[in-house]
Amino acid sequence: MPSLFEMPVTNVRGVGAAAAELLRKLSIYSVGQLLCYYPRTYEDWSNPVPLTPFLEGQALIKARLTTAFATSRLSGGRLLSNAEISDDTGSLSLVYFNNKYISSMLKVGEEYYFYGKIEKTLYGQRMIAPTFSPVGSGIGLHPVYNLTQGLSNKMMQRFLKEALKLLPAEVKDPLPQWIRDKYNLCDLRTAMTDVHFPKTKEAMEKARYRLVFEELLILNLGLRSIKSNKTSKAPLHIETDYSQEFISKLPFELTNAQKRTVSECMQDITKGKYPMNRLVQGDVGSGKTAVAAAVCYSVAKCGYQAAFMAPTEILAEQHYKTLSRFYEGTDINVVLLTGSMKDSQKKNARKYIEDGTAHIVVGTHTLITEKTIFNNLILAVTDEQHRFGVAQRTKLLSKGNSVHLLVMSATPIPRTMGLVMYGDLDVSVIDELPKGRQKIRTMLIDSSKRNRAYNFIRDQISKGRQAYIVCPLVEEGELPVASAEEYAAELMLSEFSDLPVGIIHGKMKSVDKENTMSQFAKGEIKLLVATTVIEVGVDVPNATVMMIENAERFGLSQLHQLRGRVGRGEHSSYCILVSDNKGEDSTRRLSVLCTTDNGFVIADEDLKLRGPGDFFGSRQHGLPQLSIADLSDYVSLSESSAAALDILDFSPDLSHDSLKGIRSSIKRLFKTAGTQMN
Ligand code: ADP
Ligand code: MG
């Protein structure tokens, strides 16, 4: 319906300047946008209930107006209109405030459906300002829209009825007939009519399914064209694969899964038809850093630059150290660049990055700021990828001419979700942990057992081990710092007054964080009280206990990540989840962690219970605003991505004439995201 998107909404009968102004607040400017303003939900008007004396709360009743309205003025000037309605089983008082016209809208002796809230008062039941509709017209599902002040649901319904009349008899459907046939989708005209005014529940479901499907399909195709690293540019290949040389220098033997992943990456960047676009998925502790280091090594040896981007400063610093250690005795220069470095340090780092002295640059999102100019960047690695948005990744890629992309994630991402997040990528899975890793024993306790947990920690520390306690915090960035500090202070004063306790949280200065971390790594700090800043990547093999307060506040995948901070060395390790939330859901959720250490199972459970929020993180994910689809809708996601593949098979660049509607839908959807299309 491209033309309807160019037609101002005032073309709809009944929508004047004032209404248009209100609709604008809902971002509705055109007839097309009005039609795509789908109901939030539906009221079911097909099953009225009898008006018994016990009836209370939201209800649909079918009743006759038995008295005329009596109108009086309340103190304060408000108008009160009262009348009685009844059915075979009872009667109640109907109340409207400030509605001058109500007595002319409802006629004595006529039967209506009333939908609204019933309250019990001293004088019997009453129903305040219900919506109503004459019997014979109002059966079925009634659409309920998100509204804005001054715009009632009734008005919206009227506007939409009128807007639907503007649909041409032959609506051009962006979905080709063969796709609709294959995936059993109704045509656009039917979908539009039935999504707003369905005669039956089945019709509504069919309409919604078709619209959800279409939106996800458009999203999918759009993301593929933005994010696919498969540009028409010929990839820059590096000439020699030096990864074996690196691997032979490591103090440990790589697992087979690591070796396989390294060689898949090397294949991509030495011979691939396109620049590499690879996701490496490996559970916590599977050794992703060493894999990335091997690839970076080859790049540097061939005289190019690699960028290694991490989501937090702690992690960036740790990677910087790890890589520096790995490359000791070689001529590879590793440079760190983070936001909290002193200006002079940043300036220096940037100079080395620009003149090519730096071969491998490790940093946070500071890497993608304008000031950072690379000499000859050919590889971008992003760690814990799900913490970054689409835009950030695209920016990093734009720092070079034809950059190979390696994204690493410990959060196992269901395939369909990965597609939405990363577009058309190749996946390597590190499905094997280094030898000798022990299972982390996980237990769930309530706070009455906290002291026992403390004793346990003390016992471990006396055996030479170290421990983490993660504090109850919501999110890095919005943390009530005091609570972590207070918690630590309390422990230092009481339980653990004789032991070196450290604290680390996101609001600390980078040098302080770094100091604390290195003291912990050296074993000078025995117990580290932390916020979720340690969630990702932190690696101290001597730490064997992870205690997490208010565990119910975290996502399962996040808890799994936190737990992955222990069990990294040869000692038995433990994770203690503390929660006083006795809710069945909460307990069931947390006990998943006690019974499995398989990150995929855990992520799946998370997706089922919490939706996709955890995968995208709370950060801006850069996806366009969807009007009907929901990214946790598994079935539609996978069906529509299958359809996307069918369409790409048919016309890889979507240039076929029959896909014109799809092309313009993609443009329209992504206009809202502000993402650049190529
Ligand atoms: P993650 O995949 O969670 O990022 P890391 O890369 O931090 O894991 O690796 C976890 C720990 O395992 C590090 O101390 C690393 O040096 C070590 N490691 C990695 N690969 C191996 C291996 N093949 N054998 C033994 N230890 C390894
Ligand atoms: Mg890691």
**Per-residue pLDDT tens over the stretch 232-285:** 566 788 889 999 999 999 999 999 999 999 999 999 999 988 888 888 988 878
Q: Which atom of ligand 1 is nearest to the CA of 383?
A: 4
Q: For residue 332, how far is its CA from the centre of ligand 2 (angstroms)? A: 21
Ligand 1 pocket residue status of 548, Cβ below 6 Å: no
The number of the ligand nearest the C-alpha atom of 281 reads 1
The answer on pLDDT for 311 being more than 90 is no
Indicate if ligand 1 lies below 6 Å from the C-beta of 282.
Answer: yes
Mean of pLDDT values over 197-221? 92
How far, in Å, CA of 565 to CA of 573, rounded?
A: 10
Residue minimizing CA distance to atom 12 of ligand 1: 287
Identify the CA nearest to 13 among candidates 143, 159, 197.
159
Ligand at shortest distance from the CA of 565: 1
**pLDDT higher than 60, residue 619:** no
Protein residue with its CA nearest to atom 5 in ligand 1: 287
User: In what helix (H) or strand (E) does residue 381 lie, and over which residues does it extend?
Assistant: strand 377-382
For ligand 1, say whether the CB of 539 is within 6 Å of any of its atoms: yes
Cα 319 to ligand 1 centroid, rounded to whole Å: 12
The rounded Å distance from CA 199 to ligand 2 centre is 53
217 lines ligand 1 (CB under 6 A): no
Half-sphere exposure of 586 (CA within 13 A, CB side): 15
Report how far ligand 2's centroid is from the alpha carbon of 514 (Å): 17
Cα distance between residue 86 and residue 66, in whole Å: 7
Q: Helices in 228-307 by DSSP H: which ranges?
A: 243-249, 256-271, 288-301
CA of 422 to the centre of ligand 1 (A): 25
Ligand 1 atom at shortest distance from the alpha carbon of 541: 14
**How confident is the model at residue 233, as a pLDDT?**
61
Q: Indicate which atom in ligand 1 lies nearest the CA of residue 288.
A: 2
The single-letter DSSP state of residue 183 is: H
CA of 165 to the centre of ligand 2 (A): 57
Residue 143 has pLDDT above 50, yes or no: yes
Instruction: Kindly state if the Cβ of 433 falls inside 6 Å of ligand 1.
Output: no
CB 471 within 8 A of CB 549: yes
Atom of ligand 1 nearest to the CA of 436: 25
Higher pLDDT residue, 68 or 532?
68
Nearest ligand for residue 539 CA: 1
**Residue 176 CB neighbour total at 10 angstroms:** 17
More confident residue, 604 or 7: 7
CA of 289 to the centre of ligand 2 (A): 6
Residue 440 one-letter amino acid:
I
End-to-end CA distance of the chain: 24
pLDDT for residue 602: 83
**3-class DSSP state of 209:** helix
Whether 431 has a pLDDT exceeding 50, the answer reads: yes
- Any atom of ligand 1 within 6 Å of the Cβ of 409: no
Give the pLDDT score at 412: 67
Model confidence at 634, pLDDT cuts 50, 70, 90, reads low
pLDDT surpasses 60 at 620: no
Higher pLDDT, 35 or 3: 35
Provide the pLDDT confidence category of residue 676 given band limits of 50, 70 and 90: very low
Tell me what the mean pLDDT of segment 187-206 comes to. 93
* pLDDT value at residue 494: 83
Q: Which stretches within 494-531 are classed as H helix? A: 510-522
Whether residue 506 is predicted with pLDDT greater than 80 in this model: the reply is no
DSSP state of 463: T
Please work out whether the CB of residue 565 comes within 6 Å of at least one atom of ligand 1.
no
Beta bridge partners of 362: 308, 336
Q: Which of 131-145, 487-501, 520-534 has the lowest mean pLDDT?
A: 131-145
Task: Report the SS3 class of residue 405.
Answer: strand
Is there a contact between 12 and 165 (Cβ–Cβ < 8 Å)?
Answer: no
Q: Which atom of ligand 1 is nearest to the CA of 322?
A: 16
Nearest CA owner, ligand 1 atom 19? 287
Confidence of residue 611 (pLDDT cuts 50, 70, 90): low
> 252 C-alpha vs ligand 1 centroid, how far in Å?
9
261 Cα–ligand 2 center, Å: 15
Query: In terms of pLDDT, which residue wins out, 126 or 44?
Result: 126
- Confidence at residue 7, expressed as pLDDT on a 0 to 100 scale: 94
- Specify whether the CB–CB gap between 296 and 304 falls below 8 A: no
- Whether the per-residue pLDDT at 230 is higher than 70: the answer is no
Average pLDDT over residues 299-321: 91
Query: From the CB of 285, is ligand 1 less than 6 Å away?
Result: yes
pLDDT at residue 615 above 80? Answer: no
Ligand 1: residue whose CA is nearest its atom 26: 434
Rounded CA-CA distance 349/512 in Å is: 21
**Average pLDDT of 289-318?**
93
Give the least confident one: 183-197, 246-260, 447-461, 636-650.
Answer: 636-650
Task: Judge if the beta carbon of residue 599 lies within 6 A of ligand 1.
Answer: no
Q: How many CA atoms lie within 13 A of 502 on its CB side?
A: 23
CA of 536 to the centre of ligand 2 (A): 7
Average pLDDT (432-455) is 90
Question: Across-strand partners of 441?
Answer: 574
The verdict on the CB of residue 532 being under 6 Å from ligand 1 is no
Determine whether the shortest distance from the Cβ of 414 to ligand 1 is under 6 A: no
Is the CB of 432 inside a 6 Å radius of any atom of ligand 1? no
Has residue 183 got a pLDDT over 70? yes
Question: How many angstroms separate the alpha carbon of residue 383 from the centre of ligand 2?
Answer: 7
The stretch 303-314 carries a mean pLDDT of 91
Instruction: Give me the chain's average pLDDT, please.
Output: 86
**φ/ψ bin of 523: left (φ > 0), alpha (ψ from -120 to 50), beta (otherwise):** left
- Mutation pick for ligand 1 pocket among 249, 253, 289 (CB with most ligand atoms within 8 Å): 289
Other Cβ atoms less than 10 A from the Cβ of 200: the count is: 12
| Residue among 557, 556, 524, 560 nearest 540 (CA) | 524
Q: Give 431 or 352, the one with higher predicted confidence.
A: 352
Range with lowest mean pLDDT among 210-214, 405-409, 534-538, 636-640 = 534-538
318 touches ligand 1 (CB under 6 Å)? no
Mutation probe of ligand 1 site: the residue of 246, 249, 252 with most atoms within 8 A of C-beta = 252
- How far, in Å, is the centroid of ligand 1 from the Cα of 262? 14
Residue matched to tokens 């992520």: 603
pLDDT of 600 reads 75
pLDDT digits 0-9 by tens, 65-100: 999 999 998 888 888 999 999 999 999 999 998 888
Q: Binning pLDDT at 50, 70 and 90, where does residue 335 land?
A: very high
Task: Flag whether pLDDT at 107 surpasses 70.
Answer: yes
Residue 181 three-state SS? helix
CB 224 within 8 A of CB 648: yes
Q: Which ligand is nearest to the CA of 251?
A: 1
Q: Is residue 176 scored above 70 in pLDDT?
A: yes
Q: Whose CA is nearest to atom 20 of ligand 1?
A: 287
> Which residues pair with residue 61 across a beta bridge?
114
Place of tokens 């993608």: 368
pLDDT tier at 480, thresholds 50, 70, 90:
very low
Rounded-to-10 torsion of CA 554, 558, 560, 563: -80
Between the CA of 319 and the centroid of ligand 2 the distance, in Å, is 9
What residues form DSSP beta bridges with 573? 440
Phi, psi of 41, deg, nearest 5: -160, -175
Strand, coil or helix: 63? strand
Instruction: Indicate which ligand has the atom closest to the C-alpha of 315.
Output: 2
Q: Which pLDDT score, from 0 to 100, does residue 477 have?
A: 44
In the reported structure, the alpha carbon of residue 288 is separated from the centroid of ligand 2 by a whole-number distance in angstroms of: 6
pLDDT band at residue 419 under the 50/70/90 scheme: low
The model's pLDDT over 16-29, given as tens digits with 9 standing for 90+, comes to 999 999 999 999 99
Cα dist from 541 to 166, 310, 461, 521, whole Å: 67, 20, 14, 8
Query: At which residue do the structure tokens 């932190």 appear?
Result: 538
pLDDT score of 44:
81
